[in-house]
Chain A
Amino acid sequence: MHYDPVLAWESMPTLLAGTATTFAVLLPVLVLGLLLALPVALMRLERGGKAVFAASYIAFFRGVPSLVLLYLVYSGLPQLSVVRDTFLWTVFSNAYFCAWVGLTLTHSGYMAEIIRGGLAAVPPGVVEAATALGLSPRQALFRLRLPMAARYVLKAYQNELLIMVKSTSAVSAITLVDLTAAANTVFDYTYDPFTPLVTAAAIYWCIVNIMRIGFTMADRKLNRHLARG
């Protein structure tokens, strides 16, 4: 077992194509997950039926592994004739679409809980002051509560984002050739498991650490009022 730099260089195009797939899966999931999480988090903060629905949504999608969701969407749903015999089939037969759906559901479950925590941490006096000054609930939400919550949850969002980067390796199970699957392809051709897998690991490591640096900078900018002078 030794690291073969020549093979690593030669397999770079395959691995970078895998990295592109990883991002093609990741980026829509991050956007859609965030958009879906916001209403769920707001419902969770209300009382009654809506809160129960939001709580069970969060509990379900946080409790089920993303691989199970991916299989359920990719090979489970086509069993239902509603999906198989209608226009839905054209989208659900696409592996990318299924990966987006499966991972978005998982991501939105976690994000809803994070946003709920952030909104709950906003001091009630701020909301009362906004009401007293005549801001509509919508204005108070978008101009005050969400910007404040964003600052509180930055650390939690960083953790969740890095977890999502790493969870995208699950999409290799539904035939997409992401970075992990690309490394396995190189292994299949060359019978050298060590070099491609370690190279792929290095690429993941770079992605994750660039994101960490980005978050540190964002934290410094957004939370500069908390920094010690």
Chain B
Amino acid sequence: MPEMGFVQQLGIGALMTIKVAVLSYLLALAIGTAFALVTLRRRLVVGFIWQVYASIFTGVPSLLVAFLFFYAGSGIVASLASLVGLTVTVDISPFAAAVAALGMVYGAYLADLIRSAIQNVPPGQFEAAKVLLVPQPATWLLVILPQVLRLALPGMTNMWIVVMKDTALISLIGLKEIMAYAKLASGVTKEPFIYYVLASVFFLGMTWLTYFVSRRIESWSERGYKPVVKQEPAHAL
């Protein structure tokens, strides 16, 4: 039987997993949205930078990126800072390395998703907003964003699950999350099976919760697309 102390530690680790996953996802969303917006129109320099970024971060395992940021991160930051004439010394914690790596890798995937969602909003929506003299910020925020959300949500939900599962892998750089505690508990108690099953139950639960919540958000984002009143077949037929 699992001991309560270790189960409690697994809980602490699970909170850490959620924290890393949420922060990475928010960073990925920020990077993805920024790249999606600047690559909407074809521009040579920006397009080239995006191609290089996407090619690197979708072609390399996120674990390797995390190792690179964790071990070589302070060196990278120092030499980037010396380019602008600053001397900076930073210590990269496993937490920061994990969030940066996951955020940058999945930012590349999310950018593609968000861009194609924006491109799939009917162009008439932009034109109508322009004709009605809706100011630019309001157009994006109140007209386009809700429709982008409806189109991008299924992909974004999948990406969230992928990020969360990758957080487990990233623990190999020394992050104190659920896998690290499961490993610790297995080592001490010599009962690895139970603790790894508990860890997989946590991930299954999170996946289930994600689908539960995402279905709610999706049906909310589809308001205006679905008829409010259910169409009943006519009695005469």
Contact = CB atoms under 8 A, between A and B. Distances in A.
B75 A71 contact: no
Contact of B61 (A78, A169, A173): A169
The SS class assigned to the A binding surface is helix
B229 to A, nearest CB: 31
B196 A166 contact: no
A201 B72 CA distance: 14
Given A60-B204, A68-B199, A183 B67 contact: yes
B12 interface: no
A198 B168 CA distance: 23
Interface size class of B (residues with CB under 8 A): 35 or more
Interface stretch (A87-95, A202-210, A220-228): A202-210
A76 B182 CA distance: 11
Interface size class of A (residues with CB under 8 A): 35 or more
Contact of A68 (B56, B60, B200): B200
Interface in B58-82: 58-65, 67-68, 71-72, 75-76, 78-79
A1 B68 contact: no
Given A64-B200, A68-B199, A169 B63 contact: yes
Interface string B182-201: 11001000111110110110
A170 B196 contact: no
A205 B68 CA distance: 15
Contacts of B59: 204-205, 208-209
B97 to A, nearest CB: 11
Contact of A1 (B62, B75, B166, B193): B75
Contacts of B75: 1, 193-194
Contacts of A166: 60-62
A1 B72 contact: yes
A103 B68 CA distance: 24
The 6 A-B residue pairs with the shortest CB-CB distance in the complex, in nearest-first order: A1-B75, A193-B71, A63-B207, A166-B61, A65-B168, A65-B165
Given A71-B199, A76-B192, A79-B193, 12 more contacts: A2-B79, A62-B207, A65-B168, A72-B196, A76-B193, A78-B192, A166-B60, A169-B61, A170-B169, A180-B64, A194-B75, A205-B55
20 contacts: A63-B161, A63-B203, A67-B169, A67-B172, A68-B200, A68-B203, A71-B199, A72-B197, A80-B193, A162-B58, A166-B60, A169-B64, A193-B72, A197-B64, A200-B64, A201-B60, A204-B60, A204-B64, A208-B59, A208-B60
